[in-house]
Amino acid sequence: MNILKSIIFYPMMWLRGIFLLVGKVLQGLFLLGAIFILFAGQGHDYFWTLFLTFSGFSFFFFLLTQFYDQILLKLNPTGNDLFLIQ
């Protein structure tokens, strides 16, 4: 079981920086889009749909980056304490 954890853990740890960078950028872009829609899209028929969609995607990417770190902490095959700094 420890070998299987290692096979999954080390590639995930290697790709962590890229994954977090892309996730944070997408999270920020969707949040900026939601703020823009909040100010510029009022009065249109699609206002709530766009605002909730952009807000939902921003929250989704936030959760994705958080769960990625939680998965890494659970898969840690070394037995040592692992500190993941975002």
Per-10-residue mean pLDDT of the chain, 86 residues long, equals: 87 94 97 94 87 97 94 86 77
DSSP string, 38-76: HHHSTTSTTHHHHHHHHHHHHHHHHHHHHHHHHHHHHH-
pLDDT for the residue 5: 87
The tokens for 85 are 């700094």
pLDDT for the residue 81: 79
Q: For 63-76, write each residue's pLDDT tens digit.
A: 999 999 999 988 88
pTM over 0.85: no
Long-range CB pairs of 10-17 (<8 Å, 24+ gap) are 12/68, 12/71, 12/72, 12/75, 13/72, 16/68, 16/69, 16/72, 16/84
pLDDT for the residue 12: 93
